[in-house]
Chains A and B, each alone.
Chain A
Amino acid sequence: MDHIEHLEHTESPANMKKQIWNTFYVLLVLTVVDIALYFALLSSHSIYKNILFVFLGLVKAFYIVSVFMHMKFERKFLASIIILPMLFICFLIWLALTEAGYTFDSRLF
């Protein structure tokens, strides 16, 4: 049993505290940008506006997962185990929105 040893802990870098605060500022700025864009684009109903907000949400999610949840410093294999299954969600979104498009049409006519 002698080699059931320590887990080789994925080390945090020495400047972890700095990285944490930088991530906080990024999240803060992105949230303010979100609100500013909401009011700047209030009269627009373009689909690109929605895509922009979702994109900004995904950027925030990336920072939370990679730094706050430490994913950046874990094995790549673990990251794929957790992140790749989320592709199913993209499929679900595509299915749901296609179907919703037909429901929208049936409301109009």
Chain B
Amino acid sequence: MSNTATLSTDNKQTWGGGKSPLSISYGKLMMWVFLLSDAFTFSSLLVAYGFVRFTFTTSLPNAIVKPFSHLSHTFTEEMQKAGLFVTERWPSPELVFNHFPFLHGIHLPLMFVSLMTFILIFSSVTMVLAVEAGHRMAKKEVEKYMLWTIIGGAAFLGCQAWEWTNLITEGASLQNNPFGPTAFAALFFIVTGFHGTHVLSGVILNIVIYINVINGTYEKRGHYEMVEKVGLYWHFVDLVWVFVFTFFYLI
């Protein structure tokens, strides 16, 4: 396109002032820079997790519990006796994250967290569809997709609250961990809590934008760029979840 041609042939014109050299608005550029700094914060938390994880031997292979088998009330104690939940070894995630709402008493490894991942990816899709509708100035469509995004975010938060409650009831906290090393529970609560706080602020921002869209603020302004800016933040939250999911539940 002509933009790129200008960039390569006439550098002075691109950086000479009077227009955005990156062809992006101030607000969007600042959102990107903020996301970069936030990426550093999350990276340091995940690197701290990686450090601690690396200092422990890996879990023993589980040959006792099969998926869909019966999950007793004393499951944690049984695992401790079987030597699968010991303080010297990192626990196997499939034995820790194995509950599902309304399906009490069935061993369903990683099923709930897969659902959470699916919800977050889906709300990311509805967000980008809202941005796309904003480009076409289709107010009704932006409203619809923003609402779905808010519902998705709220559903994710609800899932996380359920999972936390479950783990806390079993005795996990920042100082205590029935599944193995104390650091496992502490890091889990800190990192997922930090991510959850981001989701919460994302949902609040989405609600603010949603109200503005309904009131026609962006219709009057002539563009829906605010939706794009908040969209960037929302996708970033999804992006972080990809890595939280990989490191806490898969590795």
Residue ranges of A at the interface with B (Cβ–Cβ < 8 Å): 3-5, 7-10, 12, 16-17, 20-21, 23-24, 27-28, 31, 34-35, 38-39, 42-43, 45, 50, 53-54, 56-57, 60-61, 64-65, 67-70, 74-75, 77-78, 81-82, 85-86, 88-89, 92-93, 96-97, 99-101, 103-104, 107
Residues of B within 8 A of A75 (CB): 3, 7, 22-24
**Residues of B in contact, count (CB < 8 Å):** 63
- Those 4 A-B pairs whose CB atoms lie nearest each other, nearest first: A100-B54, A57-B246, A43-B61, A103-B55
- Knowing A3-B18, A69-B232, A75-B22, say if A34 contacts B246 (CB, 8 Å): yes
**B32 in contact with A82 (CB, 8 Å):** yes
**A57 in contact with B242 (CB, 8 Å):** yes
Residues of A within 8 A of B43 (CB): 86, 89, 92
The distance in angstroms between the C-alpha atoms of A67 and B19, with both chains bound, is 25
- Distance from B114 Cβ to chain A, minimum over Cβ atoms (Å): 6
- Knowing A31-B118, A61-B239, A103-B55, say if A7 contacts B25 (CB, 8 Å): yes
- Knowing A78-B22, A89-B40, say if A107 contacts B47 (CB, 8 Å): no
> Quick one: which of B3, B54, B129 has the most chain A CB within 10 A?
B54
- Distance from A39 Cβ to chain B, minimum over Cβ atoms (Å): 8
**B36 in contact with A82 (CB, 8 Å):** yes
Within 8 A of A (CB), among B41-56: 43-44, 47-48, 50-56
**B132 in contact with A20 (CB, 8 Å):** yes
**B19 in contact with A7 (CB, 8 Å):** yes
Residues of A within 8 A of B96 (CB): none
Q: Which of B71-79, B120-128, B151-159 contacts A (4 or more CB under 8 A)?
A: B120-128
Cβ-based interface call for B110 (8 A): yes
Choose one: B29, B47, B118, B135; the contact of A93 (CB below 8 Å). Answer: B47
Choose one: A57, A61, A74, A89; the contact of B47 (CB below 8 Å). Answer: A89
- Distance from B15 Cβ to chain A, minimum over Cβ atoms (Å): 10
- Knowing A31-B118, A61-B243, A86-B39, say if A100 contacts B51 (CB, 8 Å): yes
- Knowing A53-B250, A78-B22, say if A12 contacts B135 (CB, 8 Å): yes
